[in-house]
Amino acid sequence: MYLTMIGLEVHTHLTSLKTKLFCSCPSDYVGKPPNSNVCPVCLGLPGAIPVFNETALKFALMVGLALGSRISDRITFVRKHYFYPDMSKNYQISQYDGPGTEAVAMGGEVKLRDKKIRIRRINIEEDPAKSIYPTGSMLTSTYTMLDYNRSGVGMLEIVTEPDMSEPREAREFIEKLRSILEHLGVCDGSIEGAIRADANVSVEGGERVEVKNIGSAKDVESAITYEISRQRAAVSQGLGVRRETRHWDSERRVTVPLRTKETDEDYRYFPDPDLPPIQVTASLIEDIKSSMPELPDQRIQRFMAQYGINEYNATVLVMDKGLADFYERVTLHYNNYPKVASLLINDYLRWLNEKDMKISQSKAGPEQVAELLRMLENGTITIKIAKEFLPRMIYEGKSPRELMEATNMTALRDMTILEDIVNQVLAENPEVVKKAKADSKVIHFLVGQVMKKTGKRAEPETVYKLIEEKIARI
Amino acid sequence: MRIAVNDDLVKKLESLSLVELSQDERSRIRKDLEDILAFFSKLDQLDLSEVEPTFHPVGAGKTRKDVPDDPLPVQEALLNARKIKEGYIIGPKTFGD
């Protein structure tokens, strides 16, 4: 058994900001023509003076407080130097832990199902420009096309300690963090590229490898899984794992080497003379503390208490803020709360995932879902019918009543009709009936035959009981 | 802290600054670096053990409201770019040597 250590650096855009971090250009850069969302500050033109966005400060403090970090008493900015086409001024404005300077928030933790992941620090930093590779790949392109629309957009870099040991934990960490950020209202994780991560992975007997720029929680799990098996294979073959930076190729689902890290890169951090420190006053922190929204862990507890659902279901709902909000809207119209939770988690989500949809893209609103549950409860439809209706409600926006009228699918509850059909099925399958007498599992086959004949309109439990009784009498 | 000025240091500075010096320039830079460090070494005579490091000479930075303003017109934004293609600024490749 190899010991595996995984640490993450999560970069999250503060998508709720209206402007960039140090200039008044709109922070909403998605879909705009290249280089149409820029000014002298975010283009890095000489003499342009950056001025810090006060809402970004508030957001950073909110995240620090939510993760239980120690908040620095002043915000300092440093220049992190590197030469790369995506950073025209040859430095990124960032934060650093050194003499007289530290990150906005230090320490803290994120609680997962069965362990706590410690946070090392939270940095405020600006995003660089977007690089487009004419061949589609940085590996084969002979030049880079640059769009500075994203340059200067506000980000937080959230760095963990290497406390994770499985790819699944890394995915859960990102999902939990995303839920926290969404509950705080600072980041909409569903926007493409809003949350990206670098993963540091090492296995026993090898050096640490950094995998850069992974775009989603699912891909973080895949990239780390790939990297662990690659490293374990290398170690077991006696090849060793050298310290390097790799790139996650999300198309080919592999990591490829970027450059060999011989030593730590020398970024020559120094205080940004354009940005004097900003004091964080106790009253500012008190203001933010008193206006903090409900966070995922609190919401899970409330869901269990208020709606009587179990911890697992409460967690699944709250890990996706959109889903949890939707759940609460359905409960306004229908009061069997555990039934709502189970329908959403077991069926509704499945159809969304089938087409890779977000809950906001679903055409079935809370009222329609409540109506479906009510029709199920009063026996108008069966669970089978409900499961048939749900995808059409989600994809086509049809109401359950409309679907019932259009398909004539209602629960078959006339017992004389049902008994006729059961008798028919039993008569048609004498061999199966014999077997069913000896083995009750075989009854399910007969139930299936009845369901077929009734066009799925019978209630499976009722049919099962009916067949059971009849067989016993044969 | 004494910094050893030698060929390795000059080579490291070359690679960090992405410049290549001739042998002659290297020895000149080495001499300059020694002079600069000697000049600043005067600071080493002060006892700073009780002094907090100064991060910035100005104490109170300003913030601005999160209110958007119009960006530059594209033509103006691209004025200083040496090479442009379809509205993008063209830069060097970023992989390999």
Indicate the residue among A230, A257, A288 that finishes a domain.
Answer: A288
In this prediction, residue A92 carries a pLDDT of: 95
Neighbours of B35 (CB within 10 A): 11
Q: Are A305 and A281 found together in one domain?
A: no
Tell me if A230 sits within 8 A of A52, measured CB to CB. Answer: no
Interface size A-B, in CB pairs within 8 Å, comes to 140
Q: Are A100 and B52 in contact (CB under 8 A)?
A: yes
A31: contact with B, CB 8 A cutoff = no
Over residues A283-310, the pLDDT tens digits come to 999 999 999 999 999 999 999 999 999 9
On whether any CB of chain B is under 8 Å from the CB of A139, the answer is yes
Q: What is the pLDDT of residue A146?
A: 96
- CB-based contact, B85 to chain A, within 8 Å: yes
B72·A139 Cβ contact <8 A? no
Q: Is the pLDDT of residue A169 over 90?
A: yes
Nearest Cα of chain A lies from the Cα of B10 at a distance, in angstroms, of 14
Q: What is the CATH number of the domain that holds A467?
A: 1.10.10.410
Residue with structure tokens 């006053």? A281
Residue A38 with chain B: CB contacts under 8 Å: 71-72, 77
Backbone angles phi, psi at A245, to 5 degrees: -110, 130
All residues of chain B having their beta carbon less than 8 Å from the beta carbon of residue A82 are none
Helix (H) or strand (E) run with residue A329 in it = helix A321-331
Where do we find the tokens 């011989």?
Answer: A262
The ipTM of this complex is 0.84
For residue A392, give its domain range: 296-407
Residues A280 and A429 in one domain: no
Quick one: closest CA in B to A59, which residue?
B66
Q: What is the pLDDT along chain B (97 residues), one digit of tens a residue?
A: 577 889 899 998 888 888 899 999 999 999 999 999 999 988 888 998 888 888 888 878 899 999 999 999 999 999 989 999 999 999 988 776 5
Share of chain A above pLDDT 90, in %: 63
Residues of A in contact with B18 (CB under 8 A): 83
Task: Answer whether B62 touches A (CB < 8 Å).
Answer: yes
Please report whether residue B22 resides in a domain.
yes
Helix axes A321-331 and A366-377, enclosed angle (nearest 10): 50
Asked whether residue A351 falls in the same domain as residue A462, the answer is: no
Residue A151 and residue A262 in one domain? yes
The domain tally of chain A equals 3
pLDDT: which is higher, A429 or A220: A220
Same domain flag for A350 and A450: no
Taking the C-alpha atoms of residue A85 and residue A145, their distance in angstroms, rounded to an integer, is: 9
Average model confidence (pLDDT) for chain A? 91
Q: Decide if A55 touches B, using CB distance below 8 A.
A: yes
pLDDT given at position A260: 53
Using only C-alpha atoms, what is the Rg of chain B?
A: 22
Assess whether A458 and A359 both reside in one domain.
Answer: no
Q: Do B61 and A25 make contact, defined as CB atoms within 8 angstroms? A: no
Q: Please check whether residue B65 touches A, CB under 8 A.
A: yes
**Tell me: the pLDDT tens digits for A31-68?**
999 999 999 999 999 999 999 999 999 999 999 999 99
CA distance A129 to chain B (A): 11
Q: Does A429 share its domain with A401?
A: no
Same domain, A97 and A138: yes
Each residue of A360-417: pLDDT tens digit? 889 999 999 999 999 888 878 888 888 888 999 999 988 888 888 877 777 766 677 7
Q: Do A36 and B80 touch (CB under 8 A)?
A: no
CA distance B72 to A40: 8
Q: Specify the pTM.
A: 0.85
A29 touches chain B (CB under 8 A): no
Question: For residues A337 and A128, what is the distance between their CA atoms, to the nearest angstrom?
Answer: 46
Residue range A346-368: mean pLDDT, rounded: 90
Amino acid occupying residue B58: V
Query: What chain B residue is nearest to A143 in terms of C-alpha separation?
Result: B93
Angle in degrees, 0-180, between the axes of helices A54-66 and A167-184, rounded to the nearest 10? 130
Contact with chain A for residue B79, Cβ under 8 A: no
> Looking at residues A136-149, what average pLDDT do you find?
90
Residue B20 located in a structural domain: yes
Confidence of residue A262 (pLDDT cuts 50, 70, 90): very low
Q: Which of A407, A436, A459 is the last residue of a domain?
A: A407
Q: How far apart are CA A287 and CA A71, in angstroms?
A: 14
pLDDT of residue A11: 96
Q: Which residue has the higher pLDDT, A52 or A252?
A: A52
- The percent of chain B in helix, strand and coil, each rounded to the nearest 5, is 40, 10, 50
Same domain, residue pair A53 and A199: yes
Q: What is the DSSP string of A377-391?
A: HTTSS-HHHHHHHHH
Write out the residue range of the structural domain in which residue B15 sits.
7-45
- Classify residue B15: in a domain, yes or no: yes
Asked whether residue A426 falls in the same domain as residue A348, the answer is: no
Give the one of A19, A81, A277 whose C-beta lies nearest to B56's C-beta.
A277
- Same domain, yes or no, for A391 and A451? no
pLDDT the model gives residue A261? 46
Per residue in A194-233, pLDDT (tens digit) is 999 999 999 998 899 999 989 989 999 999 999 999 999 9
Helices (H), A191-258: 217-236
CATH number of residue B24's parent domain: 1.10.20
Between the alpha carbon of residue A419 and those of residues A57, A383, A412, A422, A446, the distances in Å are 70, 20, 11, 5, 13
Count of domains observed in chain B: 1
Which residues face A326 on adjacent strands? Answer: none
For residues A197 and A218, what is the distance between their CA atoms, to the nearest angstrom? 11
Closest-approach residue (CA) in chain A for B86: A34
Domain limit, last residue, from A237, A267, A288: A288
Q: What is the dihedral of CA A90, A96, A101, A106, to 10 degrees?
A: 150
Q: How confident is the model at residue A178, as a pLDDT?
A: 96
Q: Are residues A278 and A356 in the same domain?
A: no
A52 vs B contacts (CB less than 8 Å): 61-64
Q: What is the maximum span of chain A, computed from C-alpha positions, in angstroms? A: 95
Whether the per-residue pLDDT at A472 is higher than 70: the answer is: yes
pLDDT tens, position by position, A61-106: 999 999 999 999 999 999 999 888 899 999 999 999 888 889 999 9
Contact of A257 with chain B, judged by CB distance below 8 Å, is answered with: no
Q: What tens digit of pLDDT does each residue of A3-41 get?
A: 899 999 999 999 999 999 999 999 999 899 999 999 999
**Contact flag A144-B94 (C-beta cutoff 8 Å):** yes
Share of chain A above pLDDT 70, in %: 97
On whether residue B84 sits in a domain, the answer given is no
